[in-house]
Amino acid sequence: MADKKADLAGPGIGDYTELEHVLPADYSSLLSPKDTQRAIFEVKNYIEDNLCKELNLMMVTVPLIVDEQSGVNDYLDRDGSRTPIQFHISNDRDKHPINAQVVQAATKWKRMALKQFNMLPGEGLCTDMRAVRKDYFLDHDHSAYVDQWDWERVITGEQRNLNFLKGIVSKIWKVMVGAERYAQEMFPQLKDPRYPNLPENLTFLHAEEILDMYPDLPRKQRETAILQKYPAVFIIGIGWTLKDGYPHEMRAADYDDWVTETRSDAGHVCHGLNGDILVWNPITRRRHELSSMGIRVNPQSLKKQLELTNQMDFLNFPYHKAIVNHEIPLSVGGGIGQSRTLMLLLRKAHLGEVSVTVWPQVLKDMCEKKNIHVLN
């Protein structure tokens, strides 16, 4: 059980000695640096265009910084371990100052934006989001710099159910599979028998079901095990405390709904209207998360989740008041990691091959020895 608790501490491997054993020793990029840049923007445009088409979204601008008092920044979890970068804007000799934060994700802002742009049920928005998460351990697939397609769509009360969520997830998966084909049409060298393509369909599993299959394994090991059976899965119910006393993974209490009771295909009682898309990465030979999404909290589930996490004081923030007072729409939304997705589709061993950010020298040296050339 101690291992299970440690597994919730945060993303990333957490140790560079371990990472040295994890990084592939037989790696060679299938694309040159120049072709990699061409492929990045071609695939990026394909995904944006088709994501908007499949989900009826429009591209909108998104903030990099937000007012601390707004309550719209994303805290990523509920234990306070991942805090945003904060700074003071003195403005007019401190007569009209602002305490600002760099966003960690646009999760809450997007829902407020649905009202700002007067989106109707069935309509939504997509953003080319940039963020900074300073508390991540920097390894091969975690970076302090985060880029996502953060999207949000208005729904009705009747659509707050698991079947509707699965339909949305399946449309997103269709875009991912299509993007892989598109990349390989442009760059045939990406068709490599060592790296199987994504399956046509996702496998949907509840976190409760996966725990029943592997009751003694910590979360990351459970995910690794299930991906040996199903190379692409959507794990439902991220955040609900399972019968071993731990959630599958920590999830903030004020955006996704992880408390609502649902049913598995076998008819068992489960929980949650959210989930993560995970795939098996044949290059790194590890689990690889692509997206986190869910039906958002309504007034009832927000209050219940804040009560369970001892965060009822959040109800004083404008964002949370807007949910309770029915001032912003019901919605479904999520984030799709851009560099994570490009890393997978372009058959790269490291995020630093598709995005420019900061890495410690120990990691850059380690990558060079393994023929992994991160961008500077």
Question: Smallest Cα–Cα separation from 19: which of 284, 222, 228, 249?
Answer: 284
The 3-state DSSP class for residue 88 equals strand
Q: Output the CA torsion sign for 204, 207, 209, 212.
A: positive
CA atoms within 13 A on the CB side of 355: 24
51 near 151, Cβ under 8 Å? Answer: yes
User: What is d(CA 314, CA 74) in angstroms, rounded to the nearest whole number?
Assistant: 12
- Within 10 Å of residue 257's Cβ, how many Cβ atoms? 25
96 near 162, Cβ under 8 Å? Answer: no
Question: Smallest Cα–Cα separation from 11: which of 225, 338, 289?
Answer: 289
Catalytic residues: 74, 133, 148, 276, 289, 292
Pairing of strands 232-236, 203-206: parallel
The 3-state DSSP class for residue 148 equals strand
User: What is d(CA 362, CA 270) in angstroms, rounded to the nearest whole number?
Assistant: 43
Residue 72 neighbours by CB under 8 Å, 6+ apart:
66, 108, 109, 112, 319
| Residue type for position 127 | T
Largest CA distance in the chain: 64
**CA dihedral of residues 344, 345, 347, 349 (deg, nearest 10):** -20
Query: H helices of 95-161, where?
Result: 107-116
Residue 178 neighbours by CB under 8 Å, 6+ apart:
46, 50
Quick one: tokens of 86?
């904060």
102 near 132, Cβ under 8 Å? Answer: yes
Cα end-to-end span (Å), the chain: 41
User: What is d(CA 178, CA 49) in angstroms, rounded to the nearest whole number?
Assistant: 12
